[in-house]
Structure 1
Amino acid sequence: MAHRTVLVVLFDGVQSLDITGPVEVFAGAATYVGDSGSTYRIRTASLDGAPVRTSSGLTLTPDHALADAPAPHTLLVPGGQGTRAPDPSLIEWLRVRGPRARRLVSVCTGAILLAEAGLLDGRRATTHWGYCETLARHHPAIEVDPDPIYVRDGNVATSAGVTAGIDLALALVEEDLGREVALTVARHLVVFLRRPGSQAQFSAQLAAQTAQREPLREVQQWITEHPGEDLTVESLAARASLSPRHFARAFQAETGMTPGRFVDRVRLEHARRLLEDTADGVEEISRACGYGTPEAMRRAFVRTLGAAPAEYRRRFRPALTP
């Protein structure tokens, strides 16, 4: 099998981690596999072949001008400040050359460049959570999903902010070269193999705003520290010394989500961590996280993550699963 060429598009204002994160994954896989011929060959290119300056001030020197770049197996488009007012010539190059790639990948706001080139129309996609609304508003032909860390739609893959590009790259390596290679790379980079694409972009605590009033803030903190307790609206309202109706209304107004939604996220997060970090059984974890029964926990995992708890654990801790 011929080498898989990974072509990374460079431009001024690019986010350096959007490039280096996935590149380290592909390069690590190539190092592990060696000279088998089925590994990756990484190339970078800017519009004119000139060095570009990243948003953090680093200068990157590309291998090629885009016009002279080799035909890619995987075309990787990073994000960054430079996506806010992209060069029309770059958009035109993507419009013409993008469909020729075997696999089209974006990291963070690189999805905006693909959208401008018309390459995401009729597809499901994601980007950094802070730009999902903008992407959806400017490109109504795209089904924008703000929650997952990455989305696969046919041969097009889009990922959320910065580090999510590493998760997506690991998933692609696993698809190309197998789980053992991807796991070895993940261990070398000291990251998990692998967060499921359906995992939320940010935690319950980050997803919800911090309540302004002290009693509500204390309730938020108490929920995160006691996921296995009685977390009904009535119980939480009593802890805040408010009526259930007043509490529910105030909680949503100040945090941006209902108490039930916040509790669901906290419990799912806690269950995930226990599956990843401990050898506790699913029944024990379901009780500790307030689900009551393994079936209730299974339904929550399948609904939100697209995988049952046992499958989720296999992805992270294969040694714990028979």
Structure 2
Amino acid sequence: MDMLFILHPQHTAFDFAGPAEVIHMAAQAGAPFRLCVAGPQAECVNSLGVVNRVDPLPQTLADDTLVFLLGTEDEPRDYATPAALAIIDWLHAQFDPARHRLACICSGSLLAARAGLLDGRRCTTHHALIAMLRDWAPQAQVLENRMFVEDGSVFTSAGIAGGVDLALAIVERFAGGLLATQVARRMVIYLRRTGADPQLSPWLAHRNHLHPAVHKAQDLIARDPAADISVGEIAAQVHVSPRHLSRLFRNEAGIGLLDYRHGLRVELARQLIAQGQSVERAAEGAGFASARDLRRVWKQHAAGSPGRAAD
């Protein structure tokens, strides 16, 4: 899957470096990603004055390519330059929302708005640019106080650092929660949400700590949530006593070990049901003793019911 970053003059350096590093590390860890960088000019100067050498804008896009548009420092000026207009023309010619995906980092959503790619979409941008985005994309539903927004094939993020959160969500979507967690840990990223944001996926939740034994225990559970492995067996593999692991887990992760595993099992059951399995088969596949057991635990970790998960 191609992850194509489009660079334009005066793009914000971290809008590129942060998300691109997430994608790069995910690819190193086994994600099926190919990091590509292109632009309307062979040499592109970023907000720090550093010159990036990039490939020309491609004449064709492979199916499922995810195109990243980046923010800048002075949107009215920078998105009216010949380089920005060349990107807009290229998007009109090559980007097909039915075949491709779009990710806008910070004010990159304004460039997408110029190209008409946000019409009819829910989206967001930097808090200081909400009014401008509403003006530039009057047919879009612009949301405030959101870290990032996903609407079909279009992803948009808020401020500069929000692009890293969005990139991690993209890794989770296309390469799995366990791999996204590995990347977040490697980058020592504190995953953030506001009250209006979607809740963290169970695969990424409760990871905002730095204790290696607890992370290792979480990795063991997440690798196979349905496995019938006891607290004692997990403790032995992370080289602490069961009692000490239980205390560490709650203190560092903010949740009990068994509750953490239940949350992953509920999410696994949800995925199995969405794939067409019956509630009974999903319960068994996720490690529950019965569908009744799944329904009981589901109420503690998720809204709705297993029967509605396929809707």
In 1, the alpha carbon distance for the partners of 2:3 and 2:20 equals 9
1:144 partner amino acid: V
Partner of 1:182: 180
CA gap of 1:121–1:73, structure 2 versus 1, over 3 A, is: same
CA gap of 1:45–1:190, structure 2 versus 1, over 3 A, is: same
Query: What is the SS of the residue equivalent to 1:175?
Result: helix
Deviations 1:50-95 (CA, angstroms, capped at 9, x unpaired): 1111112111111x11144753611011111264332322211122
Contact 2:145–2:194 under 8 Å retained in 1: no
Instruction: Identify the range of structure 1 (92-101 vs 136-145) with the bigger mean alpha-carbon deviation.
Output: 92-101
Q: Output aligned runs, 1:311-322, within 5 Å.
A: none
CA gap of 1:76–1:309, structure 2 versus 1, over 3 A, is: farther
Partner of 1:58: 50
Partner of 1:89: 86
Partner of 2:14: 17
In the TM superposition, residue 138 of structure 1 has moved relative to its aligned partner by 3.0
Partner of 2:254: 279
Partner of 2:2: 5
CA gap of 1:194–1:129, structure 2 versus 1, over 3 A, is: closer
Partner of 1:78: 70
CA gap of 1:104–1:280, structure 2 versus 1, over 3 A, is: closer
Partner of 2:130: 132
Q: Which of 96, 103, 106 is the matching residue for 2:104?
A: 106
In 1, the alpha carbon distance for the partners of 2:255 and 2:34 equals 42
In the TM superposition, residue 118 of structure 1 has moved relative to its aligned partner by 0.4
In 1, the alpha carbon distance for the partners of 2:95 and 2:161 equals 23
Deviations 1:254-313 (CA, angstroms, capped at 9, x unpaired): xxxxxxxxxxxxxxxxxxxxx9966378xxxxxxxxxxxxxxxxxxxxxxxxxx9967xx
- Please report the TM-score for the alignment, with normalisation by the length of structure 2: 0.59
In 1, the alpha carbon distance for the partners of 2:47 and 2:251 equals 34
Contact 2:113–2:136 under 8 Å retained in 1: no
Query: What is the SS of the residue equivalent to 1:81?
Result: coil
Query: What is the SS of the residue equivalent to 2:96?
Result: helix
In the TM superposition, residue 126 of structure 1 has moved relative to its aligned partner by 0.2
Contact 1:6–1:74 under 8 Å retained in 2: yes
Contact 1:129–1:146 under 8 Å retained in 2: yes
Query: What is the SS of the residue equivalent to 1:199?
Result: coil
Number of equivalent positions: 203
CA gap of 1:138–1:44, structure 2 versus 1, over 3 A, is: same
Partner of 2:149: 151
**Alpha carbon RMSD of aligned pairs, Å?**
2.8
In the TM superposition, residue 104 of structure 1 has moved relative to its aligned partner by 0.7
State the percentage of identical aligned residues.
Answer: 33
CA gap of 1:41–1:119, structure 2 versus 1, over 3 A, is: same
CA gap of 1:175–1:197, structure 2 versus 1, over 3 A, is: farther
Query: What is the SS of the residue equivalent to 2:86?
Result: helix
- Specify every segment of 5 or more residues in structure 2 that has no aligned partner in the other structure, as ranges: 199-249, 257-298, 303-311
In 1, the alpha carbon distance for the partners of 2:92 and 2:252 equals 44
1:66 partner amino acid: L
Partner of 1:256: none
